[in-house]
């Protein structure tokens, strides 16, 4: 579990920006103008160039100059208008199709699979774990969001089981513990919770998985990493080199512990280690309880190492190999149902964006 806070926000959302360009129409008007004959072509010859046959006759009246600009503008107007109508028609069709798909998806509640009224909720723990509310797909697994989806699933009478789809390198101890509270609440209500690990489920993410009823992974999954880490950065030499002087007023000896403008005292180092040790003991004890292992068995594995799924299975950190659908079948078995429909409450839908 990483005790650090995120260093900067993670961007989310789409960079796509639709725009309309009328450059092709403007170019066609310029081409028409360029192809028109010069205005002075009919009368530019001097009078002395007249042929002998025309001598003594009044010169013919020159033809009126053409007005290509006005004519090209008039002729291109219908084309320009029809192009605009065509673009609006395309936009309207796209919006109608999107609305129909959204209505169908919302009506199905993000469901997939064949089954009855029995539902199994698939809830994702994806990205680095922190406390807070972050949308699925943002790169951060917020404990507020995950806990809210677990609680809503547990309170829904049609949901018979929950599958946690975990793909996370870990995060803070507090975020894992907040999620674990909701896992234990669901279990107390008789709703089994099964884990399906993706590429990675390490540290705080394994902490969460260890509290579920059954864990699936693949032989290539990276998991484990039972341990706690904290860090302190001492930038005092940088401040000194740049002539920055810092005056501190504090109410107690430890109030500015961890500040980057100075190193740690011996007492502060000892206290930091105490914080790490307490968090580590809680981690180990909870994993032992969740996995049905002794504390000593967990301590052998709790040196911070990550394990491939194959080694994790041998050491009792996971229960079996499988994917999301294997986990869903196991959840149905534990719930005592023979048919079910998968629902994905944390997927982004039109309704989640609007409300």
Question: Which residues are marked as active site?
Answer: 203, 255
Of 189, 136, 203, give the one whose Cα is nearest residue 165. Answer: 136
The span from the CA of 338 to the CA of 90, in Å, is 46
Backbone angles phi, psi at 186, to 5 degrees: -60, -45
Give the count of beta carbons closer than 10 Å to the beta carbon of residue 27: 9
The residues near 174 (Cβ < 8 Å, ≥ 6 apart) are: 131, 143
CA distance 51 to 308: 101
Q: DSSP string covering 71-128, please?
A: HHHHHHHHHHHHHHHHHHHHHHHHHHHHHHHHHHHHHHTTEESS-SS-EEEEEEEESE
| DSSP state letter for 347 | S
**Burial classification of residue 314, based on how many CB atoms lie within 10 Å of its CB (0-12 exposed, 13-18 middle, 19 or more buried):** exposed
d(CA 269, CA 257): 9
């Amino acid at each position: 579990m990483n005790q650090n806070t995120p260093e900067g926000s993670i961007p989310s959302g789409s960079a796509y920006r639709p725009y309309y360009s009328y450059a092709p129409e403007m170019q066609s008007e310029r081409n028409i103008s360029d192809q028109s004959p010069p205005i002075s072509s009919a009368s530019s010859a001097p009078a002395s160039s007249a042929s002998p046959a025309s001598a003594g006759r009044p010169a013919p009246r020159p033809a009126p100059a053409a007005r290509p600009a006005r004519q090209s503008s008039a002729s291109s107007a219908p084309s320009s208008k029809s192009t605009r109508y065509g673009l609006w028609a395309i936009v309207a069709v796209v919006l109608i199709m999107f609305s129909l798909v959204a209505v169908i998806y919302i009506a199905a509640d993000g469901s997939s699979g064949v089954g009855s009224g029995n539902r199994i909720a698939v809830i994702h723990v994806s990205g680095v774990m922190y406390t807070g509310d972050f949308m699925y797909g943002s790169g951060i697994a917020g404990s507020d969001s995950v806990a809210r989806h677990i609680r809503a699933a547990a309170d829904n009478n049609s949901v018979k089981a929950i599958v946690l789809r975990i793909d996370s390198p870990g995060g803070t101890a507090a975020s894992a513990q907040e999620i674990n509270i909701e896992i234990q609440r669901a279990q107390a209500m008789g709703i089994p919770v099964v884990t399906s690990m993706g590429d990675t489920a390490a540290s705080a993410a394994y902490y969460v998985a260890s509290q579920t009823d059954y864990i699936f992974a693949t032989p290539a999954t990276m998991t484990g990493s039972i341990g706690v880490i904290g860090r302190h950065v001492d930038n005092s030499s940088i401040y000194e080199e740049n002539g920055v002087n810092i005056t501190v007023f504090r109410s107690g000896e430890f109030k500015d512990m961890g500040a980057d403008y100075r190193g740690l005292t011996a007492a502060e180092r000892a206290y930091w280690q105490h914080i790490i040790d307490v968090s580590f003991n809680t981690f180990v004890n909870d994993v032992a309880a969740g996995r049905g292992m002794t504390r000593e068995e967990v301590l052998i594995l709790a040196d911070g190492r990550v394990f491939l799924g194959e080694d994790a299975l041998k050491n009792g950190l996971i229960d079996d190999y499988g994917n999301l659908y294997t986990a869903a079948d196991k959840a149905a078995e534990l719930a005592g149902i023979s048919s079910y429909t998968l629902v994905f409450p944390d997927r982004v839908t039109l309704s989640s964006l609007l409300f």
